[in-house]
Amino acid sequence: MREAIDFAVRLLIVCVLSAGSLSWVYQATADRIRENQEKGKIALLKKAMPEAEHFETTEKEGLKYEVGYRGEERIGGVFYAEGKGYGGPTQVMVGIGKDGKVVEIILLSHKETPGLGTKVAGQEFRSQFLGKSGPFILKKDDPSGGNIDGVASATISSRAVTKAVENALRVFKEEWGKHG
């Protein structure tokens, strides 16, 4: 019985020391982690809107976006949008210039099938949107009026990105008309 109590006390001491150490490391690195996350976010924003010098965060109808500025001039926006993919939500970041044309699309997260659905993150699919202002329609959904070739065997994933880009453009047009 004495051995069991001795073992329990030692285990308790190890657990308390481990928890204390973990808490101390978290406190010591929390600022650096936030700083690195902010740097990563800014790098993605710069990739989505390369001409912007700084960004201002805004939210409309649950859709968060960043207004890009060069000096004091509004040059476009970077919109966070989501579409329903095959494996779950597909989250994208869409850079849109002040002329209403797509500058860049970055897939932030998705749960699509590796090797098929993940091809929507590739340049071949994304480039179909660049420099255009929509509307975007998959050729599979409208053979006569569609303008986006979906990824073969990944129609749902292609549709998710297309819908997300359309949602971002819709909010851009609504908001830019007020503030443009």
* Banded pLDDT at 65 (limits 50, 70, 90): confident
What pTM was estimated for this model as a whole? 0.76
CA dihedral 167, 132, 109, 141 (to 10 degrees): 70
Higher pLDDT among residues 58 and 62, named by residue: 58
Cβ neighbours of residue 19 under 8 Å, at least 6 residues apart?
Answer: none
Q: What is the pLDDT of residues 1-43, one digit of tens each?
A: 888 888 888 988 999 989 888 888 888 887 888 888 778 788 8
Q: What is the pLDDT of residue 44?
A: 83
Cβ neighbours of residue 21 under 8 Å, at least 6 residues apart?
Answer: none
> Which ranges in the chain belong to alpha helices (H)?
2-48, 123-126, 155-179
- Tokens 């924003």 locate to 45
Q: What is the pLDDT of residues 123-145, one digit of tens each?
A: 888 888 989 887 888 887 777 77
Give me the residue spans of the domains in the chain: 49-179
